[in-house]
Amino acid sequence: MPNMQGGIKKAAGAATPVAVESKADRGSHEWMRCYYDAWNRRDWEWIGAMLAPDVEWTNAARDERIKGASAVLASFRGVIEGFPSAMIELRSVHVAGNVIVAECAIRTGQEPTAARSAAFCEIVELKSGRCVRGSTYADSVRLLMDMSEKPAAA
């Protein structure tokens, strides 16, 4: 598992990651990289450690509001079930205090050339190195269409 400065790190001898204070924008960037790396590994335990127990998550496209780490993780897992090879590509990170905006794309398939145009944005608010609030903004129909398309033969 990744070790980073600020955000989440694995404590010596600990079985699971623990939250630590973010110190600067670099820590926020690393927090997001760590989060999407765990997502791409489907490491739900790691992601759960990055969430506050009472985290609130909103999915604007589905008009869905979820509260609690277990419920948020169940939602994340449900979203990805239909696309087991989908990987998230972090394109850019913007930091404003304890709020982070991540611009992302979905890659379907293992080859780097398999990147699709499916894009989304997530906003997370951190407190003591854990996400206390998150929001996903995406055109769900476009995401599903792009992720379902087969890449054109070369």
pLDDT tens-digit map of 96-153: 999 999 999 887 765 555 544 568 899 999 999 999 999 999 876 555 555 555 554 4
Q: Quick one: pLDDT at residue 3?
A: 39
Q: Quick one: pLDDT at residue 1?
A: 36
Q: Which residue, chain included where needed, has tokens 């948020």?
A: 72
62 vs 95, more confident: 95
Q: Quick one: pLDDT at residue 21?
A: 39
**Domains defined for the chain, CATH in brackets:** 7-148 (3.10.450.50)
Rounded to whole angstroms, the Cα distance separating 110 from 13 reads 33
Average pLDDT of 19-39? 77
Q: Quick one: pLDDT at residue 131?
A: 97
> Could you tell me if 61 and 138 are in contact, meaning their C-beta atoms sit under 8 angstroms apart?
yes
Residue 6 pLDDT > 70: no
Closest alpha carbon to 62 in 122, 6, 138: 138
